[in-house]
Amino acid sequence: MSGDPVRLSAWVHGFVQGVGFRWWTRSRALELGLTGYARNHRDGRVHVVAEGPRDRCETLLDLLRSGTTPGRVNLVVEDWNTAQGGMTGFEER
C-alpha cells in the first residue's frame, strides 16, 4: 500500500559538512512533513534518515540530488525500509 510510511536512509557524499547542509536538509524535510535526522560522520559524509509517505521521502531524495543544496553533493546512496517510528520532528545531529 503506497500510503504506508517508509524509512529513507541516504548517505550523502561530497563537500557537505560545515556549509549548512544539515540545516538545509532539516528545513526541506520539515516542509515535507517528514521526521528523522541529518548527522555528520567523521569520513565527511552526512547520513540522512527520514520517515513518512514514500512520495515525500522520494521528493526529499530528489532535492538532495538536485544540485541546489549547500556545498557540493557528489553521490547519494539510498536504502529503503519500513518506517520504524518513534521519531518526532527532524533533528540536526
Confidence of residue 1 (pLDDT cuts 50, 70, 90): very low
What is the number of structural domains in the chain? 1
State how far the Cα of 14 lies from the Cα of 35, in Å rounded to an integer. Answer: 24
Catalytic pick among 7, 22, 26, 45: 22
Compute the mean pLDDT over every residue in the chain, rounded to the nearest whole number: 96
Please choose, from the candidates 14, 42, 20, the residue with its C-alpha nearest in 3D space to the C-alpha of residue 92.
20
- Say what percent of the chain tops pLDDT 90: 96
Give the pLDDT confidence score for residue 3 in this predicted structure: 72
22 counts as catalytic: yes
Residue 85 lies in domain: 6-92
State how far the Cα of 34 lies from the Cα of 53, in Å rounded to an integer. Answer: 8
What's the predicted TM-score (pTM) here? 0.95
Residue with cell 560522520: 41
Residue 64 falls within a domain, yes or no?
yes
Query: Quick one: average pLDDT of 35-56?
Result: 98
Residue 1 falls within a domain, yes or no?
no
Catalytic pick among 26, 28, 39, 40: 40
Query: Quick one: average pLDDT of 69-84?
Result: 97
